[in-house]
Amino acid sequence: MDWRLRRAGPADAAALSLVAGATFLEAFAGILDGTDIVAHVARNSSAAAFGAYLFDDAIATLAEADAGAAPIGYTLLTRPDLPVAMEPGDIELKRIYALFPTHGSGLGPALMARAIDDARARGHHRLLLGVYGRNRRAQRFYEKQGFTVAGTRRFRVGATWHDDLIYARAI
């Protein structure tokens, strides 16, 4: 599948919401409780939630299929909300997801490179992110991208608390 990246704006909130829900379900179905997944996506990945992020100066990138422009992945950069010592110039990569059929196509690294470029362009010097502590596939991806563990946190999905790792990388 051929794809392209573009800056997402408020008018893209519904597309971001659609791909956010689909990718979260793909990533965690069979791992997390289904009721928790539905509640988490409804609360955190609605079009209104993305509209609020974008209104609050977040930076989003949308990956779209070349044929038909269907949303297939995205990133979301926000002010950090992680329990680690903050440094001047920190920014959080709150989300980076791509639909399973694109895995291995280079989309993940392209999304990460775009997020790093966007963060640098805004004057940030360190990229932070949280990842589910048992998601070894994602952890390997982040480590391959130069991230190291900087801390831990408890993260709620639906009604259930999980242990996450916090990764950091100078940019």
> What is the C-alpha to C-alpha distance for residues 120 and 115, in angstroms, rounded to an integer?
9
pLDDT truncated to tens, each residue of the chain (171 aa)? Answer: 899 999 999 999 999 999 999 999 999 999 999 999 999 999 999 999 999 999 988 999 999 999 999 999 999 999 999 999 999 999 999 999 999 999 999 999 999 999 999 999 999 999 999 999 999 999 999 999 999 999 999 999 999 999 999 999 999
Write the DSSP assignment of 10-22 as a string of letters.
Answer: GGGHHHHHHHHHH
- The CATH number of the domain holding residue 25 is 3.40.630.30
Q: What is the pLDDT of residues 109-122, one digit of tens each?
A: 999 999 999 999 99
146 φ/ψ sector (left φ>0, alpha ψ -120 to 50, else beta): left
Domain that includes residue 31, residue range: 3-170
pLDDT of residue 1: 85
**Total domains in the fold of the chain:** 1
